[in-house]
Amino acid sequence: MEYFVQQLVNGLTLGSIYGLIAIGYTMVYGIIGMINFAHGDIFMLGGFAALIIFLVLTSVFVGLPVVLLLLVMIAAAMLTASLWNWTIEKVAYRPLRGSFRLAPLITAIGMSIALSNFIQVTQGPRNKPIPPLVSSVYNVFGISISLKQLIIMLLTVILLTTFWYIVNKTSLGRAQRATEQDRKMAALLGIDVDRTISVTFIMGASLAAVAGTMYLMYYGVTVFTDGFIPGVKAFTAAVLGGIGSLPGAVLGGLLIGLIESLWSAYFTIDYKDVATFSILAIVLIFKPSGILGRPEVEKV
């Protein structure tokens, strides 16, 4: 039983990270209907930004409190990743809006290849380890929960609440939902559609950057190829939860994280990614609208 709960905690931590990335996928897919393939690499980029800021801070100010360190890392990663995603949207996706459907998918794949190779070229192909940032571990009823895990879960809850509030209660969120439903009508009603879409990309990127920072803190290592697998898993999470739905993305992320850690714990670790991909295929085939998504109506 303790082993099971332990795996549950591990799975929820991993799932929180996937959920944070998945929100970016779900929002972008919701608003312009494209799979932003480069989103996983934005996540990786965020991790790298946090890594570099960490190295700068630890070499310039020795003995900085960990809380401050983490906050600055997150802020820097969010800023950098947002700027990148904003630029990418402007350069690679916006000119193709309204063009045929495959075009933005191809540019997104191209951007994904370019981004990961950009990091490889500028930062080197090797694994980048960092010393552990927070190492305290608490023992609750025989289950060990590390402070890292608590931070990740807490941050996910805070961010999800904030973003849920933005999307559902503010005028910006209203503009986003209107653009999602009918772009032309939204534009006629005076919504700056381009700006709304840019903001969506920025929001997605900043969440991915937080996830990247957390991933770096959790595993203590990052590498330029880190974007692809978490990216695909996060997309699976978004689809599983119902694409376009914010709570769905996090729910999907948590489920994927749980499945992955429980599968590794009770079956074989080798096939954990096969399990994730199989779930993706099965969900899409039998319930394409996901758990919390709206079913799509086919119009003739």
Q: How far is the CB of 168 from another protein (least distance, A)?
A: 26
Q: Is 133 in the site for another protein (CB under 8 A)?
A: no
Q: Which of 43, 48, 163, 218 binds another protein (CB under 8 A)?
A: 48
Q: Is 103 in the site for another protein (CB under 8 A)?
A: yes
Q: Is 264 in the site for another protein (CB under 8 A)?
A: no
Q: Which stretch binds another protein (CB under 8 A): 13-21, 50-58, 176-184, 205-213?
A: 50-58
Residue with tokens 């931070």: 151
Q: Which of 75, 130, 187, 193 binds another protein (CB under 8 A)?
A: 130
Contact 36, 108 (CB under 8 A): yes
Q: How many residues bind another protein (CB under 8 A)?
A: 67
Q: How far is the CB of 11 from another protein (least distance, A)?
A: 20
For CA atoms 71, 144, 16, 219, the dihedral sign is positive
Q: How far is the CB of 145 from another protein (least distance, A)?
A: 28
Return the SS3 of 291.
Answer: coil
For CA atoms 9, 11, 17, 21, the dihedral sign is negative
Contact 247, 160 (CB under 8 A): yes
User: In DSSP terms, which residues pair with 144 in a beta bridge?
Assistant: 139
Which residue type does 146 have?
A: S
Q: Is 128 in the site for another protein (CB under 8 A)?
A: yes
Q: How far apart are CA 271 and CA 299, in angstroms?
A: 40
Q: Which of 124, 132, 142, 295 binds another protein (CB under 8 A)?
A: 124
